[in-house]
């Protein structure tokens, strides 16, 4: 973890991890407005194999509207990016969330219902 992100390790399959993360975001009033499959993109564009890795573009419309209404340049920070990636052999997965999304690491970790394998503080 660094000051830009916080992360949670989930002992789930990749698709289940995506679903868990989406549910945690939904509980905080964030919807998914974009999805980028990095693994497929790297394979198609660079012919590079790798572990699954997806970027979810998450947006809370009320917070986004407030931010852009207050400072139009805030739009460059939208949407909030949340990434889910396989770790090592794919036995577990890590979700990274930008620290400006939601209400911080505690609530994201609580919403993902995962305390085992947690990284960072």
Tens of pLDDT along 42-57? 999 999 998 899 999 9
- Residue 96 belongs to a domain: yes
- Residue 41 belongs to a domain: yes
Q: Is the dihedral of CA 32, 34, 38, 39 positive or negative?
A: positive
Domain that holds residue 88: 5-111
| Distance of alpha carbon 59 from alpha carbon 95, whole angstroms | 16
pLDDT digits (tens, 9 = 90+) for 99-116: 555 444 445 555 555 433
- Residue 119 belongs to a domain: no
- The β-bridge partners of 92 are 87
- Residue 43 belongs to a domain: yes
- Residue 93 belongs to a domain: yes
pLDDT digits (tens, 9 = 90+) for 58-91: 999 998 999 999 999 989 988 988 889 988 766 6
Q: What is the CATH number of the domain that holds 62?
A: 3.30.310.70
- Residue 120 belongs to a domain: no
Domain count, the chain: 1
- Residue 116 belongs to a domain: no
Q: In what order do the strands lie in the sheet with 53-59?
A: 5-10, 92-98, 80-87, 53-59, 31-37
Asked if 10 and 117 count as a contact pair (C-beta separation under 8 A), the reply is yes
């Amino acid at each position: 973890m660094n000051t830009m992100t916080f992360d949670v390790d989930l002992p789930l399959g990749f698709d289940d991890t995506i679903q868990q993360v989406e549910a945690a975001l939904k509980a905080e009033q964030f919807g998914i407005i974009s999805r980028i499959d990095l693994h497929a993109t790297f394979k198609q564009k660079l012919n590079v194999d790798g572990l699954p890795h997806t970027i979810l573009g998450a947006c809370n419309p009320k917070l986004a509207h407030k931010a852009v209404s207050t400072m139009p340049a805030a739009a460059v920070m939208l949407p909030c990016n949340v990434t889910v990636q396989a770790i090592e052999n794919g036995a577990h997965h890590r979700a990274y969330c930008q620290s400006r999304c939601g209400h911080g690491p505690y609530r994201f970790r609580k919403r993902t219902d995962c305390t085992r394998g947690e990284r960072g503080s």
